[in-house]
A and B are shown apart, each in its own frame.
Chain A
Amino acid sequence: MGKHHLGEFEEIVMLTVAILKEEAYGVSIIEEMETRLNRSVSMGALQTVLKRLEGKGYLESELKGATKIRGGKRKRYFTLTSLGKSVLKETKEQRLGLWNAIPDFA
């Protein structure tokens, strides 16, 4: 499955979505990444990647939960699709394979 190649940022976003499980939407994903990775991410960058991943079929999204805060706007919740999951797993195995192949790593 060589055609499913994930970029570094894409991989991180997907992993974060997986961590947040049912609670992954724009703001929560950014905050999660900031706390866990100490990495500041702009909304623009995140949203383009989310859109791209959804387009590839790795993520799916749903609008729900209008509340009084946020100006009454709904949130778009992202979840991994099964394709997304298998791609993530495959990426992980590839990485592991590479790690294991290193003869001697100080």
Chain B
Amino acid sequence: MKNTNPPQLLLRFFRWFCDPYMAEHLEGDLLERFEKRQLERGSAKAKFLFAKDVLLLLRPGIVRSFKGYQKLNYYDMFKHNLIITLRSFVRHKSSFIINLLGLTTGLACVLLIYLWVNDELLVDGFHENKESLYHIMSNHTDASGTFTIKGTPGLLHEEIKTQVPEVQWAAVYTDPHEYTVSVSGSTPLSLKVQGRFANQEYLSAFSFPLKAGQSQSLLSTNYDALITESLAERLFPNQDALGQTIEWHFRGSKTEFKVSGVLENIPQNSSEQFELILPWNYFHDELITYKQWGNYYARQSVVIGPGSSAEVVGQKIDAIFKANLPDTRVELFLSPYTDLYLHGKFINGEQAGGRIESVRLLSFIALLILLIACINFINLTTARASQRMKEVGVKKSLGATRQSLAYQFLTESVLLCALATLLAFLLVFLLLPEFNHITQKNIRLVFSPQLLVAATVLLLVVGLLAGSYPALHLSRLKALLILKGFKATNNSSGIGRKALVVFQFALSTVLIVSVVVIFRQMELVQTKNLGYDRNNLIYFEREGQLTDQYEAFLAELKNLPGVENAAVSGFMVGGMNSTGGVGWKGKTDEDQIQFWEYNAGINSVELLGVEFLKGRGFSEEFKTNENGVIFNETAIKAMGMEDPIGKTVYHYTGQKQIVGVVKDFSIASIHKPAEPALFLYRPESTHFIMARINGEQTSTTLQQIEKLYSQFNPEFPFKPIFVDQDYQALYASEQRMAVLSRYSAILAILISCLGLFGLTAYTTEKRVKEISIRKVLGSGVWRIIVLLTGQFSILVGLGIIIALPLSYWAAQQWLSDFAYQIELKWWFFALAGLGTLLLAWLTVFGQTFKAARVNPATNLRNE
């Protein structure tokens, strides 16, 4: 009989799973049985039974505990590393705190920017049709160039429906506007509500889901209304809003609408916020008197069917438009709707960025800050590591392997990173309310899996990178060399470290300059003479009784002690209506001028405080107001009129006579130079009552106005608005920029100084013997300070020199967007440079002073 061996694979398997305590005798038993069986019953049977034995040994009491067995080793190692790490944190408190602080602020900043960018990118992303949803935009070309608006002629809508089959849904609507809405009944109530007009397809094109109501019958009559859940709750608390009647006030009229549906609240990340939808047909039938193809009062979006190209549909729509308005220089085109929020800026008819620029800029800044914080961290860890060479030497001589030393350093840096990440999250949590306030957002810290994975990857990458130098380099050194007093030479990383200081301070200087420039420019914006006096000027909607009885109201208003003057007015900061429908003698086809158009009444223009160059305003002494028009300087120049007073122009509402010319005043934005504007005498069409009040007792005056107001309009809420507030709102994004630049500059300086601080600590400690010898040889404290500081000053100085031209260029870029700019003065840059240098000196001073004061004996005693 052949003597064979038991199956080796099974034996190896047994050795692998068996508890080491039983492994030897069990293997012996197995083999013994195998040998016996082989003799008695043959190899094949023995092998089979061997396999059975082995498999039956696979039971809880015999299989080794994998977890416990491995944990034993690794856990202890990990615990040891952890303890060593914590001890070294405690021992090197300052570098620990610097590292932690730098990394935490950096990470917190990155996290905040990440949240903001994420939020920006998600705006309007909830529309289900977003891939095929397009907005119809119009390009208007005149002598000054092309500008792009969202408005289109309302007449276009029906034509699209009938002539463009590719269009699946055609939404037509207006911009949200604040209206007064009231309910009568047992508890009368009136509210100011953001509302818009829209057609039924609006709800198919956009994703604003219905909470209650029949989706087929929405807005089917001219007197249906849709309200959001929150408005329903406010108007009809604890009642079913469906079928209820709301009253909508427009000027003097009151119209009843029936609530035929309740919408879910508009999501926070919708670019347009509103609470009320009224039927487009009502708006178009009842409110638009001039239904013309040259009147751009409608907003239109289309969802195009699968397989059709937006370009073709756009061309078709433009063709329809051109067929109806042959000589136009306006062009219609489609632009993806969801892009408009981030890419809303058009230059010469081409999409040219918009908010996406801030998104990109901030993402870049976040990366930069992260990079600096990381490099700082790596640098400091590296610098510290060479101080721990003795520790490495001792460990190595006691038998530590290279691997275990590497693990130790990596554990240390990853742990610090993890701590910083946790603190950063905490910091973000604390700062978020303030951040939301500045950015006008409602961001919450949601621990999405995406965010957690990103944070973990980030902390691992930074931790491993930072720990890599000591882990790879120090662990390689020979124990003997280290213990004999060999000093690690860091010449190669020394250059990197210096470059970092230069880079950081260059960045800080650029940021300081930008803070100064932005601050000065905003000051200019605040104090700029706009051509009208925006201070103490209030206005409020002219509705209810004020529509007809405005003259009586104005007479009483002017009699109030705090009110200096009052008038009806159609003026609005940022402009409102714009028209190309003005003709004059000698107008050629080339002269397509877009005018900002304001309705005015008696005294309206004077009330604004605009200066008259020629002629007069609309005043009671003259009876010829009826057909009067007032232009601004730029408009007259654009029309090429020599002696404008008394000349006739052809407005789309009829023939008008020029009665006055005013100096240019700021209209849409100070990013744009003066634009043509006109005031029409149409008191009945003015939207507002405007009053200039005495600035001394504003609140009393306002109370008195409210009292008077409620005599005329008892059921309307009184909501006065200061023109100045509107003006400020126009620059909200710039103001935000100012605040953000201030914060980022502070942050950059903080991180740079931390980096410098750590570096000084390291260098002075390395040169402590040199300093002591110098002192023994008679060097004074100040000379040593100068010596130590000089080295850093060169680096910081270099950074400043690099930064100045850069910051000059950046400032000019930013300012070129404004029509009125501050001059870039030399002292902006001098201030930034000196400030940076001073800060650097202050940072270094504490350390160098301490180093220079030390008693040489303590350092030279042990050698």
- Number of A residues near B (Cβ < 8 Å) is 19
**Are B25 and A51 closer than 8 Å at their CB atoms?**
no
**Stretch in B54-62, B251-259, B624-632, B701-709 touching the partner:** B54-62
> CB within 8 Å of A: which of B712-726?
none
**Residues in A whose Cβ lies below 8 Å from that of B24:** 63, 73-74, 76
**Are B57 and A44 closer than 8 Å at their CB atoms?**
yes
Distance (whole angstroms) from the CB of B475 to the closest CB of chain A: 41
Q: When chains A and B are docked, how far (Å) is the Cα of A52 from the Cα of B33?
A: 23
Given A43-B56, A44-B56, A73–B31 Cβ distance below 8 Å? yes
A69 at the interface (CB under 8 A from B): yes
Given A74-B24, A75-B25, A27–B58 Cβ distance below 8 Å? no
**Residues in A whose Cβ lies below 8 Å from that of B35:** 69-70
**Residues in A whose Cβ lies below 8 Å from that of B25:** 25-26, 63, 73-76
A96 at the interface (CB under 8 A from B): no
**Are A47 and B33 closer than 8 Å at their CB atoms?**
no
> CB within 8 Å of B: which of A46-97?
47-48, 51-52, 63, 69-71, 73-76
Q: When chains A and B are docked, how far (Å) is the Cα of A83 from the Cα of B99?
A: 63
Q: When chains A and B are docked, how far (Å) is the Cα of A44 from the Cα of B56?
A: 5
**Residues in A whose Cβ lies below 8 Å from that of B26:** 26, 43, 47
B266 at the interface (CB under 8 A from A): no
**Residues in A whose Cβ lies below 8 Å from that of B30:** 43
- Chain B, residues 60-88, CB within 8 Å of chain A (1/0): the string is 11100000000000000000000000000
Q: When chains A and B are docked, how far (Å) is the Cα of A73 from the Cα of B29?
A: 8
Q: When chains A and B are docked, how far (Å) is the Cα of A74 from the Cα of B24?
A: 7
- Does more than half of chain B's interface fall in helix, strand or loop, or is it mixed? helix
**Are A48 and B27 closer than 8 Å at their CB atoms?**
no
B53 at the interface (CB under 8 A from A): yes
**Residues in A whose Cβ lies below 8 Å from that of B53:** 42-44
Closest B residue to A77 using CB positions? B25
Distance (whole angstroms) from the CB of A58 to the closest CB of chain B: 16
Q: When chains A and B are docked, how far (Å) is the Cα of A47 from the Cα of B797?
A: 79
Given A63-B24, A74-B24, A44–B59 Cβ distance below 8 Å? yes
- Chain B, residues 1-35, CB within 8 Å of chain A (1/0): the string is 00000000000000000000010111111111101
A45 at the interface (CB under 8 A from B): yes
**Residues in A whose Cβ lies below 8 Å from that of B22:** 47, 51, 76
- Most chain B CB atoms below 10 A, which of A27, A51, A52, A75: A27
Q: When chains A and B are docked, how far (Å) is the Cα of A44 from the Cα of B22?
A: 11
**Residues in B whose Cβ lies below 8 Å from that of A71:** 27-28, 31
Q: When chains A and B are docked, how far (Å) is the Cα of A47 from the Cα of B30?
A: 12
Closest A residue to B53 using CB positions? A43
Q: When chains A and B are docked, how far (Å) is the Cα of A63 from the Cα of B52?
A: 25
Closest B residue to A71 using CB positions? B31
**Residues in A whose Cβ lies below 8 Å from that of B58:** 44
Closest B residue to A55 using CB positions? B61
Q: When chains A and B are docked, how far (Å) is the Cα of A63 from the Cα of B20?
A: 13
> CB within 8 Å of A: which of B446-502?
none
Distance (whole angstroms) from the CB of B156 to the closest CB of chain A: 85
Q: When chains A and B are docked, how far (Å) is the Cα of A25 from the Cα of B29?
A: 8
**Are B61 and A47 closer than 8 Å at their CB atoms?**
yes
**Are A51 and B61 closer than 8 Å at their CB atoms?**
yes
Distance (whole angstroms) from the CB of B36 to the closest CB of chain A: 8
Q: When chains A and B are docked, how far (Å) is the Cα of A75 from the Cα of B30?
A: 11
Closest A residue to B30 using CB positions? A43
**Are A74 and B59 closer than 8 Å at their CB atoms?**
no
**Residues in A whose Cβ lies below 8 Å from that of B61:** 47-48, 51-52
Distance (whole angstroms) from the CB of A62 to the closest CB of chain B: 10
**Are A27 and B56 closer than 8 Å at their CB atoms?**
no
**Residues in B whose Cβ lies below 8 Å from that of A47:** 22, 26, 57, 61-62
- Most chain B CB atoms below 10 A, which of A25, A26, A74: A26
Closest A residue to B11 using CB positions? A71
Given A47-B62, A51-B22, A74–B28 Cβ distance below 8 Å? yes
**Are B57 and A27 closer than 8 Å at their CB atoms?**
no
> CB within 8 Å of B: which of A1-52?
25-27, 42-45, 47-48, 51-52
Instruction: Please name 8 pairs of A and B residues whose Cβ atoms are closer than 8 Å in the assembled complex, sorted by A.
Output: A25-B25, A47-B61, A48-B59, A48-B60, A69-B32, A71-B31, A73-B24, A74-B25
Q: Which 9 A-B pairs have the closest CB atoms?
A: A73-B28, A76-B25, A48-B61, A26-B29, A44-B56, A70-B28, A42-B56, A44-B57, A71-B31
Q: Knowing that A43-B56, A44-B58 touch, tell me 6 more A-B residue pairs with CB under 8 angstroms.
A: A27-B29, A27-B36, A44-B59, A47-B61, A73-B25, A74-B28
Which B residues are closer than 8 A to A by beta carbons?
22, 24-33, 35-36, 52-53, 56-62
